[in-house]
Amino acid sequence: MSEPSRTTPATLHDVAREAGVSLATASRSLNGSTRRVNEEYRQRVLDAAAKLNYTPNLSAQAVARGTTTTVALLVADIADPYFSSIAAGVVAEADAEHLIVTMAATERDPERELELVRQLRGQRPRVMILAGSRPTVDRTEGALADELAAYEASGGRVVLISRNELDFRTVLLENRGGAERLARELVGLGYRRFAVVTGGEGLRTAADRLEGFRAGLAAVGGRLDDADVVRSAFTRDGGYDGARRLIERGLDGIELVFATNDVMAVGALSAIRDAGLTPGRDLAIAGFDDIPTVQDVTPPLTTVRVPLEELGRRALRLALAEDADAGADADATAGETAHPRGGSVEAEVVLRASTPGIG
């Protein structure tokens, strides 16, 4: 019991010695090797490992096996409910697969994103998941694509979430379709004049949602003037700011403002209220994503539900599934054959009190 509190963790070597077997046997007993080992030895090893509180050194295993159990996840902002929900999904699924996830935040900066990808590549993660879209035009895009391609060439798997601008496995969000249906439903409720508060710099996701919304309105006779599309940061404060500007400028008949994501919508909601208007009555509002919050604000927000956590799970599954998929030496002249897309996660319009029926 006078354990001298050794300062370095037990190594496999220690376990082997303690159990009186060779390194190889110890290794074989402790992990799922194809080789069988005598039950007695096995037990001895297990006991020794328990006694020494042995944990395999993952780095060493990675080096020896030439493969890690890591998945890297890149999001724009961890505190944003959109991303944290996705992350929760990724982590949950990873856990089920005994994978470990490392996370980094791009802070919506393409340069930073590129930098992080480079850095994360050093981990040799099994898969790399990039969530959150980047500007539609962006001068680092080529570099990012190259970096990711190099990563895939070396056996890694890239999955993009809701950003189809690069040619990799992607789980798509039905941004366009969801927004289009939302537009139709809103017109069905009697709304005619719309405004949009959306993310700045042409984020792909925002652009798709806007486009879908436009298309939906066009189909059923809703009106959205270009002047009534205001751009701002893709955040809560951006939403607040956008709505404020809209109101200050004069609503001039606008009945409903569509914020291209819920955190913006929530900000917009507060802006509306702060302007002395009653959201829902004086000015209706709708968002996109269905983050948990929107059920608890007043009025609850009409939005387009996206199964965010499922999005994350799906992304990881897609990355892993393809391992089987890759199968034969698809390596050869695959050439132009696009990567298997992950299909699209469907979005569902959820009408709530923020867009009461009118007329």
Return d(Cα 131, Cα 156) in angstroms, integer: 17
Return d(Cα 166, Cα 332) in angstroms, integer: 21
Nearer to a copy of itself, 188 or 292 (CB): 292
Question: What is the x/- site pattern for a copy of itself, positions 36-55, by CB under 8 A?
Answer: -----------------x-x
Q: Does 32 bind a copy of itself (CB under 8 A)?
A: no
Q: Does 338 bind a copy of itself (CB under 8 A)?
A: no
- Both tokens of 123, joined, read 């981990």
Single out the residue of 22, 51, 59, 330 in contact with a copy of itself (rule: CB under 8 A).
59
Least CB distance from residue 7 to DNA, whole Å? 11
Least CB distance from residue 197 to a copy of itself, whole Å? 15
For 325-346, give the DSSP string: HHTTTTTTT-TT-PPPP--EE-
Report which residue type is found at 95. D
Single out the residue of 236, 244, 313, 314 in contact with a copy of itself (rule: CB under 8 A).
236
Nearer to DNA, 61 or 344 (CB): 61
The number of helices, as runs of H, and strands, as runs of E, in the chain is 12, 12
In the range 91-150, which residues lie near a copy of itself by CB under 8 A?
91-92, 95, 100-105, 118-124, 150
Nearer to a copy of itself, 123 or 140 (CB): 123
Return d(Cα 271, Cα 244) in angstroms, integer: 6
Least CB distance from residue 336 to a copy of itself, whole Å? 15
Using CA of residue 276, residue 278, residue 283, residue 287, what is the dihedral sign? Answer: positive
Return d(Cα 323, Cα 309) in angstroms, integer: 22
| Torsion angle in degrees (nearest 10) through CA of 137, 138, 142, 147 | -130
In this structure, the number of other CB atoms found within 10 A of the CB of residue 359 comes to 7
- Residue 118 contact, options a copy of itself, DNA, none, Cβ 5-8 Å cut-off depending on partner type: a copy of itself
Q: Which residues bind DNA (CB under 7 A)?
A: 8, 11-13, 21-25, 27-28, 30-31, 33, 35-38, 41, 54-57, 60-61, 63-66
